Structure 1
Amino acid sequence: MAVDAAREEKALRELTNRLVDRYGEEHSVERVEAVVGAVRQRFDGHKVRDFIPILIERIVRRELTPVEVENIAEQANTVNSQAIPSGDNSNSASSHLFDTLDRLGVSRRTALIGAAAVAVVGVVAVIAVQQPDSDPVAAAPAGLTTLRGVVGSEKMAFFEDARVADVLAEHGIEVEADPAGSRQIADSVDLGKYDFAFPSSSAAAERIQRKVGVSGKYTPFSSPMAIATFKPILDLLTAAGVVKPGPTPTFDVEKYLALAEKGVQWDQLEGNTTYPVRKNVLVGTTDPRTSNSAAMYLAVTAYVANDNTIVRGGKAEDYAVSRISRLFTRQGFTESSSDGPFKEYLAGGMGQTPMVWIYEAQYVDAAVHNQLKPDMVLMYPSPTVVSQHTVVPLNDKGDQLGKLLSSDPDLQRLAAEHGFRPSDASLFTKVVTEHQVPVVPNLIDVVDPPNYDTLEHLLDGVAKAFN
């Protein structure tokens, strides 16, 4: 099977699992799988396949949602039949309705969708029902302005969180987010159909700004880069002198680079009986040609390879590329965005992914949602780099979202619950303390990534090494 076809199959399996989890109470697994299969057939023969899984998921959600709307309508009728204090104005009546719906377990955003099907507190709304062969993007709930954005895949869980949707709905907004690698967003995604772009670094944001000719940007939260691994791997690398153990283990990038340059394999590490495999000792990353997380890995390793100095100038760029390109080319196939490798880490175990370069936020989010296994460990590279997740508004609607994400206290709190570090550090501290996630609260050993043009030259040099 070709790589692109395999990637599409993997994406379809993942979206089917998401839909089964989402609609499991309303539909059988067989029903969900049948709808996915039927919708997929509509795209048979299409040569451009990159966004097919996204379109399939949207259509399936739309076709499975009517049952949900009917259930909400029934709940709304029940609520509407309850006595609302006489003399209430529309605002107090609406507040009473939302309070009652909250007791029924219906979110405010869901209530707004349900209101499109029934008369509630004297307001009648209408849902626009699309035909199967029409545009696959479903109509927005009445009263909400839909914003379309393309975001780094590590932020999809945040935007899919019903609590986030509720807060946005209170501001009259619904967000439809498409996932993509940050460098894909900057280089190849058609931004003309979006209201905002939300890559995972200031460098990618700068590239987007140059591309579309806008100056505004917002950085609502950040995340340092880290390495997810397992206790046996941690012990092996500690014995090899690469890792300094502790509550938050430190991964010495300089010692690792020396090991990797020699082509040392896992089974060549002294005393290795726990992971004696014939594979190079390498940190797994995404594809640097498409993904910001790999670009951040390149920034750190290039700094170390350049005698712990920020890379500047053509000579330094060539020297750094000559030392670090093999860190990527020896990995084999790599994913285009950061969501895939981390999911493999969570599901596949040590045998498949002994070390993976991630956003700290991904590990914290998994810990908060009880997805980690007992032997999973987070290491901090020394040095590391902080990824600034940056909203680039492409119009006034996108600018409104950037302001909300940066200033709304509920959205900042929810960002922390998804592992990101918002501007108020206490929010992040509260989350990791409550869930006992060992992190470095105040990182010191942090380097700045090279400037925009230098990073592009480094990425181009690594890309050429793949050919």
Structure 2
Amino acid sequence: MAVDTVREEKAIRRLTERLLETYRDTHPAEHVQTAIEEARARFAGHSVREFVPVLVERVARRALEPDSAQVVAAAAIDVLAPRPAPSEPRALPLPNRRNALLLGGAAALVAVVVVSLAVRQPDSPPPATAAAPGLTLVRGVVGSEKMAFFQDQRVIDALATHGVRIEVHAAGSRQIATSIDLGAYDFAFPSSAPAAERIQRARNITTKYTPFSSPMAIATFQPIIDLLTPAGVVKPGAVPAVDMARYLRLVRADTEWAQLPDNTTYPVRKNILVSTTDPRTSNSAAMYLSIASFVANDNAIVQGTPAEQAVLPTLAKLFVGQGYTETTTDGPFQEYLTSGMGACPLALIYEAQFVEATAKGQIAPGMVLAYPSPTVLSKHTLVPLRESGDTIGRLLTGDPVLRELAAAHGFRTGDAARFAAATRGIPLAPELVDVVETPTYDTLEHLLDGVTESYN
């Protein structure tokens, strides 16, 4: 099966799981699956596949929610819908002419689809369940990379000793800050300070807690490390480092893997790009943008409109060429874990995800964790929306048992010795030196808006 087909099949499987969960209370499972199958059938035979999962989701949701018509999705479907044969022969019916028409249609499709992505609505939160007798139920919306921590029975037990039970719902950090209805929750726990700041501004909240952080990292494979080392992109070592300046040079030049000298390891005709999430919804992609903007701005934090405009062409290349991207880091990381080097040679993740996967036995020989140089610390910041949410912030920050468990899940709590002990045997950078700060909240928003516009 071709790599593109594998990616599409995986995206459709994730889409099916997501819609089954979303509509479990309103539609039988077979109705949801039928809607997806019928939507996908509309795009059978089309050669441009990168955005098919996005369009399938739009069509399926429209079928399952007929009252919420989506004009943009309908326009996108019209672009791909089969047309009747023309009554007269075309002028210049040559193969090159046909290819040019197909490419033009694909470009139009990309423009329409990306507009629809910008108005994507998050799934509704699950219905609340009652807490056990004697426990106060506290509901939170959190970045997906923290779900395993909150689902750990040891964490559940530790919280129960303080009289609380947490129910969490996962979402992309920028979704949490921009489009999730926070009225249903007691706390919001995005994966970065800028996302938390946006929530605080919108709700006039001054309190926040930053119980732990996780640096951005790149999950890759030893053959890819060996391939990129002679190109100067990777600095080998016990913990490899990806030279972001050299990497950006390859991106600006639209360098393909097959163009690397003496490449017999991965001679693929596609651009060298790190797989990320969607920057419009996900914090990890915004953190990646922070790193790249610093490097593209001659190793200085971007400030002011001239600097923003100067780096945007480079930043756009990092994302637009990827095609379909997920809303949370669980998407590209699961593709890395299950599909291997062919589909995902480089995946941007949180360091904590690699630690978590190692503990579960999911890291196979040849899988390697590298760090962008420079990198950024994603500061997981909890914003209490109610008093019960404030209690969770104080517990995660101050309770020694919960801090120990956070370290065991790969989060850095500020105690280097505790982190080293909890992650012993995993090849991680014990201390991070080459770390930069993110741009200001407003600058980061401007850059993200600029990247969003570049999709069009």
Question: One fold, TM greater than 0.5?
Answer: yes
- Which of 350, 354, 357 is the aligned partner of 1:363? 354
Q: Which residue of 1 aligns with 2:257?
A: 266
Matched, 1:392 2:383: yes
Q: What TM-score does the superposition give when structure 2 sets the normalisation length?
A: 0.76
- Which of 337, 341, 344 is the aligned partner of 1:346? 337
Q: Which residue of 2 aligns with 1:418?
A: 409
Matched, 1:165 2:156: yes
Q: Which residue of 2 aligns with 1:199?
A: 190
Displacement of 1:142 in angstroms is 1.4
Displacement of 1:428 in angstroms is 1.0
Displacement of 1:9 in angstroms is 4.6
Displacement of 1:462 in angstroms is 0.5
The CA distance in 1 between the partners of 2:281 and 2:135, in whole Å, is 33
One-letter amino acid matched to 2:450? G
The CA distance in 1 between the partners of 2:138 and 2:175, in whole Å, is 20
Matched, 1:257 2:217: no
- Which of 280, 300, 312 is the aligned partner of 1:289? 280
For the 8 Å contact 1:182–1:291, the answer to whether it is kept is: yes
Q: Which residue of 2 aligns with 1:402?
A: 393
- Which of 372, 379, 384 is the aligned partner of 2:370? 379
Matched, 1:10 2:14: yes
The CA distance in 1 between the partners of 2:122 and 2:440, in whole Å, is 31
Give the 3-state SS of the residue equivalent to 1:422 in structure 2: coil
Matched, 1:225 2:241: no
- Which of 412, 428, 431 is the aligned partner of 1:442? 431
CA separation of 1:40 and 1:15: change in aligned 2, threshold 3 A: closer
Matched, 1:304 2:323: no
Please say which structure displays the higher CA radius of gyration.
1
The CA distance in 1 between the partners of 2:146 and 2:239, in whole Å, is 24
Displacement of 1:239 in angstroms is 1.5
RMSD (Å), alpha carbons: 2.7
CA separation of 1:197 and 1:53: change in aligned 2, threshold 3 A: closer
For the 8 Å contact 2:20–2:29, the answer to whether it is kept is: no
User: Deviation digits for residues 3-22 of structure 1, max 9, x if unmatched?
Assistant: 999967515448999xxxxx
The number of equivalent residue pairs is 368
Q: Which residue of 2 aligns with 1:247?
A: 238
Q: What TM-score does the superposition give when structure 1 sets the normalisation length?
A: 0.74
One-letter amino acid matched to 1:231? Q
Displacement of 1:51 in angstroms is 5.8
Displacement of 1:323 in angstroms is 1.9
User: Deviation digits for residues 261-288 of structure 1, max 9, x if unmatched?
Assistant: 1111001111111111111001111111
Matched, 1:454 2:447: no
Matched, 1:430 2:421: yes
The CA distance in 2 between the partners of 1:140 and 1:221, in whole Å, is 26
The CA distance in 2 between the partners of 1:36 and 1:415, in whole Å, is 38
Give the 3-state SS of the residue equivalent to 1:10 in structure 2: helix
The CA distance in 2 between the partners of 1:53 and 1:9, in whole Å, is 20
CA separation of 1:448 and 1:137: change in aligned 2, threshold 3 A: same
For the 8 Å contact 1:254–1:305, the answer to whether it is kept is: yes
The CA distance in 1 between the partners of 2:122 and 2:10, in whole Å, is 14
RCO higher in 1 or 2 (8 Å CA, sep ≥ 6)? 2
The CA distance in 1 between the partners of 2:342 and 2:331, in whole Å, is 16
The CA distance in 1 between the partners of 2:348 and 2:231, in whole Å, is 19
Q: Which residue of 1 aligns with 2:203?
A: 212
Give the 3-state SS of the residue equivalent to 2:194 in structure 1: helix
Displacement of 1:441 in angstroms is 1.1
The 5 Å alignment of 1:127-146 reads: 136-146=127-137
User: Deviation digits for residues 395-453 of structure 1, max 9, x if unmatched?
Assistant: 100000000001111111111111111132222110221xx111111111111111110
Q: Unpaired runs of 5+ in structure 1?
A: 18-34, 56-135
For the 8 Å contact 1:224–1:359, the answer to whether it is kept is: yes
For the 8 Å contact 1:15–1:53, the answer to whether it is kept is: no
For the 8 Å contact 1:321–1:458, the answer to whether it is kept is: yes
One-letter amino acid matched to 1:190? D
The CA distance in 2 between the partners of 1:190 and 1:380, in whole Å, is 34
The CA distance in 1 between the partners of 2:296 and 2:419, in whole Å, is 32
CA separation of 1:4 and 1:331: change in aligned 2, threshold 3 A: closer
The percentage of counterpart residues that share the same residue type is 56
CA separation of 1:235 and 1:339: change in aligned 2, threshold 3 A: same
Q: Unpaired runs of 5+ in structure 2?
A: 22-26, 34-60, 69-119
Displacement of 1:344 in angstroms is 1.0
Displacement of 1:327 in angstroms is 0.9
The CA distance in 1 between the partners of 2:292 and 2:123, in whole Å, is 35
Give the 3-state SS of the residue equivalent to 2:237 in structure 1: coil
Give the 3-state SS of the residue equivalent to 1:255 in structure 2: helix
For the 8 Å contact 1:221–1:420, the answer to whether it is kept is: yes
The CA distance in 2 between the partners of 1:185 and 1:53, in whole Å, is 12
Give the 3-state SS of the residue equivalent to 2:156 in structure 1: helix
Give the 3-state SS of the residue equivalent to 1:158 in structure 2: helix
CA separation of 1:314 and 1:337: change in aligned 2, threshold 3 A: same
